[in-house]
Chain A
């Protein structure tokens, strides 16, 4: 009997990098993939809106108000005869861009302040955290209403206000990460052999915080979209006639429409839910992929 020993092959391919592994894990995450696909679809239809519908989002037709979905208007018309489908698509541009821009603002501020506080520690940490606390304790509604009143409610002010109100949680998160990582072995080791603070921050700590920052970014965008919806819902964000998912949802406050004319509010509501949902899925996938401890 010949016992054929299994052929031993040596790996001839390069060992996978950490990023490669993460990317693979991400693409295997079902929900994240679903989220990515959906979000891309949403972005595509928002950007391509003019090509997809013949109507303008501000085109009135008073003789065709509150029409249910039909061949001419796939999602029906609203209170002044404007095509709902068109408005939903154009609204996507506003809501998605508000999400992106405001998160960029809050990320920038939050990361800078959080990392300085977390790394420096001591007095600097204390002072910066007190400033963060101060921003967190602002009653957001007063700020929002006042800014809206003083500068005029608009998309840009909405972006600014949301950005300025949401950085504290990012800062705290980044700071927390820095605090934990600062005490980790590899950082102490680096410091003990005299590596400069800059290098430690950028080469060692940052890459480890990127995972939580990336995750935070995605959730931040989701949150910003929800905030924009609330702002527009209150009448302080995007003003008529420009559509945004939030101000289209304002219609649902009328019981008449809530009950009898779902085509006016379900589409924007669903779009918000879909957009936020997919972004959350992506964030979840990112978290699972980038977290070295999660071997699930």
Chain B
């Protein structure tokens, strides 16, 4: 297994390289560049000045040279500097990743806890009204686009009921407090989590149902254990295995989903950083984000495959 993991990691490196090349080309295919993005369309700019600024940022060099520069710097441990602020990209990412992690972590927590609980209840009370209700909720959850859900949440909870702030991570200018932070975190985490909750709920329900009639469970019941113990000890432990493998896939989806949620809620994580970088055509930041997300996805996939094989011993990787 160790050699397998090592080999996977080694093979990932050229993959990541390939991704960066393609993304670099694509990002440069977008019309405009960092200099043009900064000019307000209301105030025109002299052509010579534009050329000057482009030269300063190295934007007038042929694409392969620009990429080469970037790669060379990367191999020396330097992720480059933002075209917009001049800040080192690595620092930017490190500074903003905690916000995204907080959002993703909290969402994952909500969705796993809610999803597993509701899914188990749904399975145990199969065919009851509650089961149907929860199933409907689950289906609805995966049928509504998350940008739409976010808008409705902001509208109902932030504007009409005034229970939560409309955006941001903290109240600006005030000293940091966890209570304030969590208060801001709730709506975006909920928006991100609801769809995942529905997914986990369905997976849990399906796998609990599979396990619920298995022999060892019947044995446990026959032995006289209470329903609760039976559920907790035997059913859940086995039913959770496929759910855990699904978490891996969902990590990448969470990561991607956080981009939209962060933008709608002004949550200052790397998702928002990426969106801003796109409209500002900030190449180094875009590349930094791509690199980072590539790593996240590859590691998530690796984890999923490893867990999958651990869970199902028939699958072996040579």
Q: Which of A133, A253, A272 contacts B297 (CB 8 A)?
A: A133
Q: Is B278 part of the contact surface with A, judged by Cβ < 8 Å?
A: yes
**Cα–Cα distance between A133 and B293 once the two chains are bound (Å):** 12
B242 to chain A, nearest CB (A): 11
**Cα–Cα distance between A130 and B298 once the two chains are bound (Å):** 9
Q: Is A280 part of the contact surface with B, judged by Cβ < 8 Å?
A: yes
Contact B135 A31 (CB under 8 A): yes
Contact B151 A180 (CB under 8 A): no
Contact A281 B139 (CB under 8 A): yes
Known: A133-B12, A136-B252, A149-B29. 6 other contacts (CB 8 A): A134-B15, A134-B19, A141-B278, A146-B26, A252-B148, A280-B142
Instruction: Kindly identify, within residues 233 to 276 of chain B, every residue whose CB is under 8 Å from any CB belonging to chain A.
Output: 249, 252, 256, 259-260, 274-275
User: What are the 5 tightest A-B residue pairs by CB atom distance, in nearest-first order?
Assistant: A276-B143, A137-B297, A146-B26, A137-B294, A277-B143
Instruction: Kindly identify, within residues 114 to 150 of chain B, every residue whose CB is under 8 Å from any CB belonging to chain A.
Output: 126, 135, 139-140, 142-145, 147-148
Interface size class for chain A? 35 or more
Q: Is B289 part of the contact surface with A, judged by Cβ < 8 Å?
A: yes
Q: Which residues of A contact B135 (CB under 8 A)?
A: 31
Q: Is A195 part of the contact surface with B, judged by Cβ < 8 Å?
A: no
B203 to chain A, nearest CB (A): 12
Q: Which residues of B contact A294 (CB under 8 A)?
A: 210
Of chain A, the residue at the smallest CB distance from B275 is A141
Binds A, one of B64-72, B85-93, B174-182, B308-316: B308-316
Q: Which of A126, A233, A277, A296 contacts B140 (CB 8 A)?
A: A277
The tally of CB-CB contacts under 8 A between chains A and B is 109
**Cα–Cα distance between A146 and B26 once the two chains are bound (Å):** 6
Known: A146-B30, A280-B142. A139 touches B289 (CB 8 A): yes
Contact B210 A272 (CB under 8 A): no
Contact B274 A139 (CB under 8 A): yes
Q: Is A249 part of the contact surface with B, judged by Cβ < 8 Å?
A: yes
Contact A146 B27 (CB under 8 A): yes
Known: A150-B29, A233-B147. A145 touches B278 (CB 8 A): yes
B83 to chain A, nearest CB (A): 16
Binds B, one of A77-85, A101-109, A222-230: A222-230
Q: Which of B11, B31, B147, B275 contacts A149 (CB 8 A)?
A: B31
Contact B315 A230 (CB under 8 A): no
Contact A180 B314 (CB under 8 A): yes
Q: Is B318 part of the contact surface with A, judged by Cβ < 8 Å?
A: yes
Q: Which of B29, B145, B298, B312 contacts A133 (CB 8 A)?
A: B298
Majority secondary structure, A binding face: helix
Q: Which of B31, B259, B274, B298 contacts A137 (CB 8 A)?
A: B298
Q: Is A255 part of the contact surface with B, judged by Cβ < 8 Å?
A: yes
Contact B143 A222 (CB under 8 A): yes
Known: A141-B259, A146-B26, A296-B209. A255 touches B155 (CB 8 A): yes
Q: Which of A133, A233, A273 contacts B143 (CB 8 A)?
A: A273
Known: A126-B11, A233-B145, A269-B148. A137 touches B139 (CB 8 A): no
**Cα–Cα distance between A233 and B210 once the two chains are bound (Å):** 39
**Cα–Cα distance between A133 and B295 once the two chains are bound (Å):** 11
Q: Which residues of B contact A226 (CB under 8 A)?
A: 143, 145
Of chain A, the residue at the smallest CB distance from B16 is A137
Q: Which residues of A contact B249 (CB under 8 A)?
A: 169
**Cα–Cα distance between A42 and B99 once the two chains are bound (Å):** 42
Q: Which residues of A contact B18 (CB under 8 A)?
A: 134
Q: Mark A230-274, 1 if CB is under 8 A from B, else 0.
A: 100100000000000010010011010011000000000100110
Of chain A, the residue at the smallest CB distance from B14 is A130
Q: Is A16 part of the contact surface with B, judged by Cβ < 8 Å?
A: no
Of chain B, the residue at the smallest CB distance from A228 is B145
Q: Is B301 part of the contact surface with A, judged by Cβ < 8 Å?
A: yes
Contact A280 B143 (CB under 8 A): yes
Contact A272 B15 (CB under 8 A): no
Q: Is A140 part of the contact surface with B, judged by Cβ < 8 Å?
A: yes
Q: Which residues of B contact A229 (CB under 8 A)?
A: 145, 148
Contact A183 B315 (CB under 8 A): yes
Known: A133-B15, A280-B143. A146 touches B151 (CB 8 A): no
